[in-house]
Amino acid sequence: MTSNQETFKKIISHAKEYGFIFQSSEIYDGLSAVYDYGPNGVELKNNIKSYWWTSMVQMNENIVGFDASVLMHPKIWKASGHVDAFNDPLIDNKDSKSRYRADVLIEDYVRKIELKINKEIIKSKKRFGDSFDEKQFRKTNSRVLDYERKIKEINTEMKKCFDDDDLVSLKKLIDDLGIVDPVSGSKNWTEIKQFNLMFSTSIGASIDSSSEIFLRPETAQGIFVNFLNVQKSSRKKIPFGIAQIGKAFRNEIVARQFVFRMREFEQMEMQFFVKPGTQSQWYNQWKDTRMKWHQALGLGEENYRFHDHDKLAHYADAACDIEFNFPFGFKELEGIHSRTDFDLSQHEKYSGKKIKYFDPEINESYTPYVVETSIGLDRMFLAILSSSYTEERIDEQNSRLVLKIPDFLAPYKLAILPLVKKDGLPDYANRIFNDLKIHYNISYDEKDAIGRRYRRQDAIGTPLCITVDHDSLKDDKVTVRFRDSMQQIRIDISQLKKEIDDRLSLSNWLD
């Protein structure tokens, strides 16, 4: 196991131990790729939503909010192309009876070659010490060059298979590479078949094909079919956007990497409606804005990168991902798509209702083009959790585990801790708690030695601890201890609210 994999395992167990994320239906042995958020998890999740919503809706006068239902008319998914094209290529192993995504099997094979490259690099680093030049090594070492060539060949071939919709050649690639079932080691594969990712259920009392409906696989369609309702009721002129946070459902076959790929997850999406011909300018603008939004969080600019798509979805004329450096490597965190007028035109065609915007500036009606920004809330959660997880040595004997979550997103903004459980200190501490609880989510803790209480707060990412001691009763001052620096200062309680506001409020951060 690599050290990244080990750290990822630790993060997953930390998330459970400290009430961030639990496996769904755990006492029934769990439901795969479905998760529940615990008391600390739901606070962090709500704070992320609030950060997105405030910066997207509240701070943009040309973006309004929306909340569509999960269940919608089944024709919507025919019109959007999801019934016919929202598929994964699946392959079964005849011996183990396990089912896999063909592209993931190939990607895993590629990842193994990448690991071989890393091994070569680590070996040479050890041998050459400080004088080792990784860039030069990658350019000149024949084994590394062979591995890289192989990776390129495989990726090119896989892309060609998808571009040509050629599942026979995709299967041949798996056979040629000698890919084995990770469980049984067998190469006894079936042909590859496309599998639709939408969950279906039925509406009403009778269960027949006419009552079949789908759980939405993306929140976007709820916005498209309400375009005119929202535009007219909010009297918005193009360009303007509609933003929404909500659940989406996909019957992911390869569900793994914790909350990275789930069957039930949440999206924060914004559809920006623009005049035809201006979409490319808006696409670039939103790419820039969204990257800045991510980087403003302070998780490290080097942890983000763009991945421009070569293969475009059926509805897009340009698309990219913002990728984040998760513990398992750079992976998609947010998608930005120039969706053309595909969705609105399709709904116009399938519903038989006109969906046009009358532009008073040019005195003409047209179907708007759409630029979409779509981020997975759970992936954002994982990005924050994994990058803030820090094991820190304090001195020879002691270490601590601290979640360095951006302060304004932390589940609890502060903890109030009376030094001892007597002498009137709990009463004094409770008074501070009651004064501040309307403004912040606060933890109150009077059990165990103060050092252990600090560690507990570090482990859930509480940025400030306020300690009340015997002197506080005389001078109305308390000790404020900072999570990251562990520095402590003495502060008058009349200054407390301002100190907290300055450091922790979302509005200060956004300002």
- Pick one of 91, 333, 385, 466: the residue that binds ligand GAP (CB under 6 A): 333
C-alpha separations of 452 from 35, 419, 457, 485, 490 in Å = 29, 12, 9, 17, 20
Confirm or reject binding of residue 265 to ligand GAP (CB under 6 A). yes
Q: Which amino acid type is present at position 152?
A: K
80 binds ligand GAP, rule: CB under 6 A: no
Enumerate the H helices of 27-166 as residue ranges.
39-53, 75-79, 82-85, 102-128, 134-140, 142-163
Find the part of the chain contacting ligand GAP (CB under 6 A) among 153-161, 330-338, 436-444, 463-471: 330-338
Nearer to ligand GAP, 355 or 375 (CB): 375
Residue 89 touches ligand GAP, criterion: CB under 6 A: no
* Distances in whole angstroms, Cα of residue 278 to Cα of each of 232, 238, 273, 285: 22, 11, 10, 11
Residue of closest CB approach to ligand GAP: 376
Q: How many residues does the chain have?
A: 511
Q: Mutual orientation of helices 167-177 and 142-163 as an angle, nearest 10°? A: 160
- Give the Cα separation of 9 and 406 in Å (integer): 22
Kindly list the distances between the CA atom of residue 52 and the CA atoms of 36, 176, 317, 331, 465, in Å, as whole numbers in the listed order.
Answer: 21, 46, 26, 20, 27
Q: Which of 43, 88, 269, 469 binds ligand GAP (CB under 6 A)?
A: 269
Q: Could you say whether residue 222 binds ligand GAP (CB under 6 A)?
A: no
Q: Does 323 bind ligand GAP (CB under 6 A)?
A: no
For ligand GAP, the binding residue among 335, 418, 426, 461 (CB under 6 A) is 335
Q: Of 194, 197, 202, nearest to 218 (Cα)?
A: 197
Residue 223: both structure tokens together: 């916005």
Q: Per rule CB under 6 A, is residue 262 in the interface with ligand GAP?
A: yes
Using CB under 6 A as the binding rule, whether residue 384 contacts ligand GAP is answered as no
Is residue 261 near ligand GAP by the rule CB under 6 A? yes
d(CA 298, CA 293): 10
- CB of 181 or CB of 378, closer to ligand GAP: 378
State the binding string over 228-247 for ligand GAP (x if CB under 6 A, else -). Answer: --------------------
Single residue of 181, 378, 458, 469 touching ligand GAP by CB under 6 A: 378
Q: Please list the alpha-helical segments (H only) found in 235-341.
A: 279-295
Among residues 332, 348, 499, 501, the one that binds ligand GAP under rule CB under 6 A: 332
Burial label for 481, CB within 10 Å (0-12, 13-18, 19+), is: buried
* Minimum CB distance to ligand GAP smaller for 88 or for 458: 88
Q: Which of 40, 374, 457, 472 binds ligand GAP (CB under 6 A)?
A: 374
**Candidate ranges 232-240, 281-289, 348-356, 371-379; the one touching ligand GAP (CB under 6 A):** 371-379
Is residue 446 a contact residue for ligand GAP (CB under 6 A)?
no
| Binding interface with ligand GAP (CB under 6 A) | 218, 220, 250, 252, 261-262, 265, 267, 269, 332-335, 372, 374-376, 378-379
